[in-house]
Amino acid sequence: MDLIKVYTAAGELDAEMVKGFLEAQGIKVMLVQESIGRTYGLTVGMLGEVQLLVPNDQAEEARNIIEEMEDGNFEGTEYPA
């Protein structure tokens, strides 16, 4: 399975939020972070970045969802529990 980078998060919190949102939409997500940043707890610059990877066949859908999310198109939307 080929994985494609669809998003670069500024840190783990941002990455986990976007990951959870994509997974709620049925997208499989893998997080990748520079190991030295994680080891030393560095959360700024390139060492704090986290890459979100998705399967190649879900990349376009994931990018569209992220774009919609960044545009605020999901704000105020109620989802069934």
* Domain containing residue 35: 3-58
Give the pLDDT band of residue 72 (cuts 50, 70, 90): confident
> Does some domain include residue 70?
no
Domain count, the chain: 1
- Measure the CA–CA gap between 52 and 22, rounded to whole angstroms: 10
Determine which helix (DSSP H) or strand (DSSP E) holds 5, and give its type and residue range: strand 3-9
What is the pLDDT, as a whole number, of residue 29?
Answer: 98
In which element (H, E) is residue 38 found? Answer: helix 35-40
Establish if 80 belongs to a structural domain. Answer: no
- Element containing residue 13 per DSSP (H, E): helix 12-24
Q: Is residue 31 part of a domain?
A: yes
Mean pLDDT rounded to a whole number for the chain:
83
Give pTM, 2 decimals.
Answer: 0.77
Is 69 a member of any domain? no
Establish if 42 belongs to a structural domain.
Answer: yes
Residue 67 lies in a domain: no
Is residue 71 situated within a structural domain? no
72 domain-assigned:
no
